[in-house]
Amino acid sequence: MTILDIKYQLQEQCSNLISIRLDSIQKTIKDIETSLKEESKGTSGDKHHTGRAMLQIEREKAGNQLREIEKVMRQLDKVDVENPSEFARLGSVIETNQAIFFISISVGKLEVNKTIYLGVAPNSPIGLNLLGKKNGEQFNFNSRIYKIISIK
């Protein structure tokens, strides 16, 4: 399997994870909307207003989560896995002495061919340390020394 095949699989796994999150949030929003309609049919009074207010807060939280997922989806669309680079950038697979990273979005562990990759966003703490680095360079993160073995 070529590195390009691996990158495509990593990108697809990221996309699938985001789709699952998106579906979950959309279901939550739909459930809240249904509950709000049911609450409107109920009786009036303090209990009614409190329940409705709680549902409004939940809807607002879900809306914020939806906007965040949409932002992550836009970030994933910017990931360029096809063009190799000598330095770590969005779309790079970086092998270090500690782990193998895929700079894309923060999704945690991904697996291709029984190899674990860590999906990290470029603006995450570890992503910021990786960006712009070249083979052989190193950095300290969480009291651990990371030495870059390869960038693909």
104 SS3 class: coil
Q: Which long-range contacts (CB under 8 A, 24 or more apart) does 89-92 make?
A: 89/122, 89/131, 89/132, 90/122, 91/7, 92/130, 92/151, 92/152
DSSP state of 46: H
Q: Averaged over 138-146, what is the pLDDT?
A: 96
- Provide, for the chain, the percentages of residues in helix, strand and coil under a 3-state DSSP scheme, each rounded to the nearest 5: 50, 20, 30
pLDDT in tens, 57-98: 998 999 999 999 999 999 999 999 998 889 999 999 999 999
144 SS3 class: strand
CA-to-CA distance for 75 and 120, rounded, in angstroms? 12
pTM (whole model) above 0.95: no
